[in-house]
Structure 1
Amino acid sequence: MRRRLINSTLAVVLVVIAVFGLSLFAVETRTIESSARDRLEAEVARVLADVESRIASGEPVTEAELRASAPADRFVRIDLPDAPDVTLGRRHDGATLAADATGAHGETITVEQARSEVDDEINRMLVIILVVSLLAVAAAALLAVRQARRVSAPLTDLAETAERLGSGDPRPRHRRYGVPELDRVADVLDASAERIARMLTAERRLAADASHQLRTPLTALSMRLEEIIATQDRETVKEEAAIALAQVERLTDVVQRLLTNSRDPRLGSAVGFDLDEIVIQQVEEWRPAYRSAERVIVHSGKQGLRAVGTPGAVSQVLACLVENSLMHGAGTVALRTRTTGNQVVVEVTDNGPGVPGELGSRVFERTVSGHNSTGLGLAVARDLAEADGGRLELLQQRPPVFAIFLSREAEQPPAGV
């Protein structure tokens, strides 16, 4: 492309120089020849005036007397009617330019100039035109190279940017080139890079969230299946199978929520629900795991509370907190329900070492962990709580106290009121 730009620019310049150069050469050649003829006619008139003046006064018309009237580089011939012809200067060899005039007494004056003098002047003019044309071509070549580099370099850079996008590197480069059309292309590529980056981030986040959120219900489900395998009591098998089916339904709900949130995080299915049912459900599901770890999980607090949200999401948040206490905490894990203002609160605490002081509220950030884990659990749990219009907070670091805040369902007035 750079070569084509240079060649096209030089072609245009050469055409312009050829057209104007030839026109200028023709005009200047005609002007030089016309000026030479005008000079000859002026010289003829001057010599004629001198000859007529001498004839009128009776003075002799000789070469010596007329030498001062004629230029030294001209050949002058004076034809007198009653006297010998008079010549001045040396006759030129080759082509000449001549001018003549006839006086009142019958004399004829002829002045000749060598054609080579006019040709030399035309050649000097031609050399000047050629030099100027060469300078113009050189300047055009330099400008063409610079302009080609200015245009082709950004195009090469934009091609590299597009190639990086295609290879999976969506970082925008934010480079501009001072050419409106190229800057527009750069804007579009940067905007596309940002969209691709957001899409990739969302996909990776969905994969990470799915991996983490599915792990907890799958772990609980595996424990129930182990209970079924270990027992011989038919009633126990039925009970554990029913709980396992309920866990499968919640697992399906988790998958559905993940897909829904990946399409539009604002979509939700908040309803009023019995908070005690969710808390008791989590306690019962995790009790076998805590019993295997020789620990205890209990619940207390105000009973009969109803909250507004998505039961499946609240179960996931509680399961994440309970699992964290099982993995990183110690002693008894307590779930306590209470109210504050128009909100209901579920607190989860244990007797473990708690959250390191340097982490603080950063424990909810993705990839931040004080126990060499993925750092996704609490971040996902907070996202789930906020999607329901609630929030997840760390109320106390040592011993750790995490709290889920949910909107409290308005009490229905008694029938007939």
Structure 2
Amino acid sequence: MQRRLINSTLAVVLVVVALFCAPLALVEKRSIESNAQEQVTSEALHLVGVVENRLVAGEPIDAEALSGLTSQNAQRYAVVELPGQPTITLGDKPAGDDPVSATETGPHGEKVTVQESRGPLNRNIRNMLLLLALVALLTIVAAALLAVWQAKRLARPLTDLAETAERLGSGDPRPRQRRYGVVELDRVAEVLDASAERIARMLTAERRLAADASHQLRTPLTALSMRLEEIAETDNLATVREEAAIALGQVERLTDVVQRLLTNSRDQRKSSAKPFELDEVIKQQAEEWSPALRRAGRTLYLEGPPGLLALGNSGAVAQVLAALIENSLMHGDGAVTIRTRVRGSSVVLEVQDEGAGVPSELGARVFERAVSGHNSTGIGLAVARDLAEADGGRLELLSQRPPVFALFLGRAEPKGGSLGRPEGSGSAK
């Protein structure tokens, strides 16, 4: 590309120089020749006038009387012819067969011829041509340097843009934010930067989805594998049916987890909030997590009024509750309490344990991704907060010591009936 730009620029300059210098040289040549002819003619007229004055005054006319009237610097040769008198010559006859010559005749028959050698004329023409050639050469050199600079100036941005496109193709979507002062190239750079930002957002969303899916699917798959192991180890048909029914329920919840993750990754603004029975979600999660808590020598307590209806997505609330119970199991200690209460127009679902609590240096940052005080992934609570906010709820840390996490949901009006847990009572599992 650089070579093409240089060659095209030089071709244009050469054409312009040729079109300019050729007519200029011709005009200047004619001007020099015309000037030389005018000078010779002017001197011939001058000699005719002198001779005429001497004839009128009766003064002698000879070479001695006319000496000094011709231009010595121009080395001109003059011939004066008078009627009835010898021819008078002044100066040396110029060399060459084609001198610059002018002849003038006076009223008394006198005739004056002035000649000048073409040497000075040719020298002036040659100097003019050399000057034009020098100017043309300097113009071509300047144009070549300008063409090289301009070619590099245009080629460098294209090289940068090619590198940017190559980086995008290799998975490095960082925008370069470079501009080059050329409208068209700047527009291409802006489009590439915008594409880089979109690709970066897409890659971030894909990585986030992969991390969230890995984290959120781990617990349901573990619980499902435990149910399948119990089915494989028992010969009791009733137990097999019971465990199979529970496993099918876990598969449905697992499907809901996947669907929820995909929905959130595609459109986090879409809400699927609707009334649901909070006790059903708590009961289901208590059944799933009780075996793991018992193996750890810990107890699960359920507290709060029964029959609460909350606004939200039961699958998302189940995932949030599972994340909070898992967080207490992994990082907490002692009994785990799931508590429900009503606060104004909200239903509050709290999870508390008897552990050391959240470190003071973490505080509210515990919900940030990759933030963890116990070398965990730092994803669980972040995903839980995203799930809560997707349907209009919010997840907060009410207390660091003892650790109390609270999920705030909108409250729905009950349609009657309860799930059988008296208000204010507590149960242990």
Q: TM-score, normalised by structure 1?
A: 0.96
Match of 2:260? 257
Structure showing greater relative contact order (alpha-carbon pairs closer than 8 Å, 6 or more residues apart): 2
8 Å CA contact 1:345–1:406 kept in 2: the answer is yes
Letter of the structure 1 residue corresponding to residue 164 of structure 2: T
Q: Please identify, of 51-60 and 384-393, the stretch whose mean Cα deviation from structure 2 is larger.
A: 51-60
CA distance in 2 between counterparts of 1:363 and 1:98 reads: 109
Tell whether 2:188 aligns with 1:185: yes
8 Å CA contact 2:213–2:261 kept in 1: the answer is yes
Letter of the structure 1 residue corresponding to residue 94 of structure 2: H
**Alpha-carbon shift at residue 142 of structure 1 (Å):** 1.9
Match of 1:337? 340
CA distance in 1 between counterparts of 2:121 and 2:319 reads: 105
CA distance in 2 between counterparts of 1:256 and 1:242 reads: 21
Secondary structure of the corresponding residue to residue 398 of structure 2: strand
Matches within 5 A, 1:250-329: 250-329=253-332
Equivalent in 119, 123, 129 of residue 120 of structure 1: 123
Match of 1:401? 404
**Alpha-carbon shift at residue 92 of structure 1 (Å):** 0.9
Equivalent in 236, 242, 247 of residue 244 of structure 1: 247
Q: Please identify, of 221-230 and 311-320, the stretch whose mean Cα deviation from structure 2 is larger.
A: 221-230
**Alpha-carbon shift at residue 69 of structure 1 (Å):** 1.8
8 Å CA contact 2:332–2:356 kept in 1: the answer is yes
Tell whether 2:392 aligns with 1:389: yes
8 Å CA contact 1:280–1:299 kept in 2: the answer is no
**Alpha-carbon shift at residue 231 of structure 1 (Å):** 4.0
Q: Please identify, of 280-289 and 23-32, the stretch whose mean Cα deviation from structure 2 is larger.
A: 280-289
8 Å CA contact 1:298–1:334 kept in 2: the answer is yes
Identity fraction in percent:
64
Tell whether 2:44 aligns with 1:44: yes
CA distance in 2 between counterparts of 1:370 and 1:362 reads: 10
Match of 2:427? none
Tell whether 2:228 aligns with 1:228: no
**Alpha-carbon shift at residue 230 of structure 1 (Å):** 4.2
CA distance in 2 between counterparts of 1:150 and 1:92 reads: 60
Tell whether 2:22 aligns with 1:19: no
Q: Over residues 6-28 of structure 1, what are the superposed CA-to-partner deviations in whole Å (9 max), with x where a residue is unaligned?
A: 11111111111111000100000
Match of 1:215? 218
CA distance in 1 between counterparts of 2:67 and 2:92 reads: 12
Secondary structure of the corresponding residue to residue 159 of structure 2: helix
Secondary structure of the corresponding residue to residue 289 of structure 1: helix
8 Å CA contact 2:359–2:400 kept in 1: the answer is yes
CA distance in 2 between counterparts of 1:267 and 1:236 reads: 41
8 Å CA contact 1:283–1:298 kept in 2: the answer is no
8 Å CA contact 1:223–1:289 kept in 2: the answer is no
Q: TM-score, normalised by structure 2?
A: 0.94
8 Å CA contact 1:301–1:337 kept in 2: the answer is yes
**Alpha-carbon shift at residue 56 of structure 1 (Å):** 1.5
Match of 1:7? 7
**Alpha-carbon shift at residue 226 of structure 1 (Å):** 3.0
Secondary structure of the corresponding residue to residue 77 of structure 1: strand
**Alpha-carbon shift at residue 46 of structure 1 (Å):** 0.2
Q: Please identify, of 136-145 and 384-393, the stretch whose mean Cα deviation from structure 2 is larger.
A: 136-145
8 Å CA contact 2:78–2:90 kept in 1: the answer is yes
CA distance in 2 between counterparts of 1:195 and 1:269 reads: 27
CA root-mean-square deviation? 1.4
8 Å CA contact 2:101–2:114 kept in 1: the answer is yes
Gaps spanning 5+ residues in structure 2: where?
Answer: 418-429
